Chain A
Amino acid sequence: MEYVGFITLGIFILAVVGTLFKKIPLPLQTVMILVTIVNVIIGGVAHLTLHEGGGLAAAKLLPAKVMGGIIIHPLTALLAGLLIAGALSASGGFDAIKVIISKLRKSPIGMAGTVAIIVQLPLMSALPCGRILAAALLPVIFSFGPEEMGVLNKRQLIILTGAYARNAFGSCGPSPLGGVGAIGEGFLGKIGYLRAPQAFSLLIGTALVALFLKFLTTKLYPDDVKVKDESNTASRDIKVTAPVKGYISLGIFVVTLVVALFEVLGKVPVQTPLVLGAILIMIVAKLNLEDLMSGIILMPATAMVSGFLAAGSLAATGGFDALGLIFNGVAGTWLGTAGMIAILVQVQTILPLSCSRILTAAFVPVLYLLGPAGTGLLTATQLAIVMSAYIINATTSCGPSPLGGGGMMAEGAIRAETGYLRPAFSFASLAFMPILAAVVMKVMKFNTFHEATTSLGASLNVILITVVLLAVNIVLFKILANMVTSGQVTPRILYFILFSIGGAISGGMLAYLIDMTSIIQIVQGAIGGVIAGNLMVLMTPRGQEYSLEYEDSVEMKA
């Protein structure tokens, strides 16, 4: 059956790439369903024709195995989040948030402090799916823009939305309520082990995405967002009001989040308090079922199901086993273990699916078997550091996914072209967040779990590396933005350069952090990172179509 896995994996990758490059003129969900059907047929034929394949009984089991790949939790979490978001919307809860934020921005922390809190709200609430708060608050964020309150101009609105989305579509990682990181923690044997590295890297990674959007995206593609850009964007001081029931429903929403987060009701799924909260709001605000259902968005839900089905077909036919063999093979080449690791930690951003849980569930066992329990390529310490880098990259991969990923919600909210925010999301996941997660794991977490006291020196090391990385990225963004505006490179070439440098830094630093400190190993890691970075750009087809018109756009804005 081994080669069948390579065939089904090949079909899946071709379908994803074909869809990304618009060579397959079908909706993404349809493509994933077709891949599932083709893979199941191939797997069934293989079972029937190969002696060791299990015969008819195994072939009959294939559809059930595929259906077993559907992970219900994020799907129902999304629906529950959308349900309570619908209730909030119908009862005036969003209007209440607008009023509170309007007052907050007039407080001593001003608008600057307010946006700094807003972009971190998903991480602060720590829900298991970023779509829940994204669905609830993206409309509120949009209301700050020039078309409603006029507190922010178009450019600021894009940056705020992008940064918020980055935070939201990574917040599922460190969530204690069935977060993605728990998959890795389960294998490492320490629940909560990966949360601090993920949370810290996302805290800072959100700011990096804002910088990327400021220096590159909004300059390169200023007209790809169809939001009216009125010249007078100073606050119009519109009198924002909200009904009393809006405040009550908002209060119920906050209490619901606290109940879900601190497990006040005991060990119940997060969906339970969310649905109870929605029902309570429904009663208090005298809403009907239609009001709640209006908040349900089918697109991300169907994309997630089709993604799970496709991944399930790969798991059932040995596609992921084939992938494991490929990575072990790569470690035996001139790229070495360091180069292979540099690629492996980026694989979910290279192939971003609608929900990171799809590939995480398959890849974490592959990664775990590189440690002492398997091939022994990595020590336990190295494995934990690599796992922390892998998990933050994985959990943030639904952001740039064109297959119904979370980022599409943000792009839809600001009426941007699909893929507009993707380079910013991918770059942060490639060059910044995995390094920070690995640094925190290496410098701080190990001290904690080895029962030594974390020191001021360890904290200062983490802070110093954070500042240096941010500074390097700002310089890089500025240099490359200048190269594009002066006509030296096209945006497409810019992304190849940027992702190559980012990948090299990421891969080289990761190799160093896992004590592969010889020059050869660091170079191998850097080359692996360059390969990963270039694969990400190759999987991002936009750019070519804009390369001829961006200069006009920039000049018009200037």
Chain B
Amino acid sequence: MYNIFTFLVGGAISGAVTAYAMDMSSSKELVQGAIGGMIAALTIVLLLPQ
């Protein structure tokens, strides 16, 4: 459970930072990036051994 939590927050950070790096730095874009990162992270963590 905490693995999923860690990856979700990590994904949000990664997505937001990636969006920021690509000059998409408005609040809306950062949130969108964070959501995209969380979707990716959820897929990744679900494929890990639990």
- Whether B21 contacts A163 by the Cβ 8 Å rule is yes
Q: Helix, strand, loop or mixed for chain B's interface? A: helix
Q: Helix, strand, loop or mixed for chain A's interface? A: helix
- Whether A210 contacts B22 by the Cβ 8 Å rule is yes
A26 within 8 Å of B by Cβ? no
The one of B24, B37, B39, B48 that contacts A196, using a Cβ cutoff of 8 Å: B48
- Whether A119 contacts B2 by the Cβ 8 Å rule is no
Interface segment, one of A108-116, A306-314, A319-327: A108-116
The one of A114, A192, A208, A444 that contacts B3, using a Cβ cutoff of 8 Å: A444
Residues in B whose Cβ lies below 8 Å from that of A111: 24, 29, 32
Q: Encode B19-41 as 1/0 by CB contact (under 8 A) with A.
A: 11111100011101111110111
If A196-B3, A444-B2, A466-B13 touch, whether A113 touches B33 (CB-CB below 8 Å) is yes
The one of B13, B24, B41 that contacts A467, using a Cβ cutoff of 8 Å: B13
- Whether B30 contacts A112 by the Cβ 8 Å rule is yes
If A117-B40, A120-B44, A203-B11 touch, whether A112 touches B24 (CB-CB below 8 Å) is yes
A97 within 8 Å of B by Cβ? no
Residues in B whose Cβ lies below 8 Å from that of A440: 6
Chain B residue nearest to A436 in the complex (CB): B10
Interface size class on chain B is 35 or more
If A155-B23, A156-B23, A210-B22 touch, whether A126 touches B47 (CB-CB below 8 Å) is yes
- Give Cα A254–Cα B30 distance, bound, in whole angstroms: 29
A140 within 8 Å of B by Cβ? no
- Give Cα A208–Cα B47 distance, bound, in whole angstroms: 23
Smallest Cβ distance from B35 to chain A, in angstroms? 5
Residues in A whose Cβ lies below 8 Å from that of B47: 124, 126, 176, 261
- Whether A204 contacts B18 by the Cβ 8 Å rule is no
- Whether A454 contacts B2 by the Cβ 8 Å rule is yes
B16, B34, B43, B44 pick with most chain A CB within 10 angstroms = B44
Residues in A whose Cβ lies below 8 Å from that of B6: 200, 440, 444, 459, 462-463
The one of A109, A160, A211 that contacts B35, using a Cβ cutoff of 8 Å: A109
Residues in B whose Cβ lies below 8 Å from that of A123: 40, 44
Number of interface residues of A (CB under 8 A): 52
A241 within 8 Å of B by Cβ? no
Smallest Cβ distance from A216 to chain B, in angstroms? 11
- Whether A159 contacts B21 by the Cβ 8 Å rule is yes
- Whether A119 contacts B18 by the Cβ 8 Å rule is yes
The one of A176, A207, A261, A467 that contacts B18, using a Cβ cutoff of 8 Å: A207
- Whether A470 contacts B17 by the Cβ 8 Å rule is yes
The one of A110, A116, A466 that contacts B10, using a Cβ cutoff of 8 Å: A466
- Whether B23 contacts A120 by the Cβ 8 Å rule is no
A422 within 8 Å of B by Cβ? no
- Whether B13 contacts A204 by the Cβ 8 Å rule is yes
- Whether A160 contacts B22 by the Cβ 8 Å rule is yes
- Give Cα A121–Cα B16 distance, bound, in whole angstroms: 16
Residues in B whose Cβ lies below 8 Å from that of A119: 18
Residues in B whose Cβ lies below 8 Å from that of A156: 22-23
6 contacts between A and B (CB under 8 A): A112-B32, A115-B18, A116-B35, A207-B13, A444-B6, A463-B10
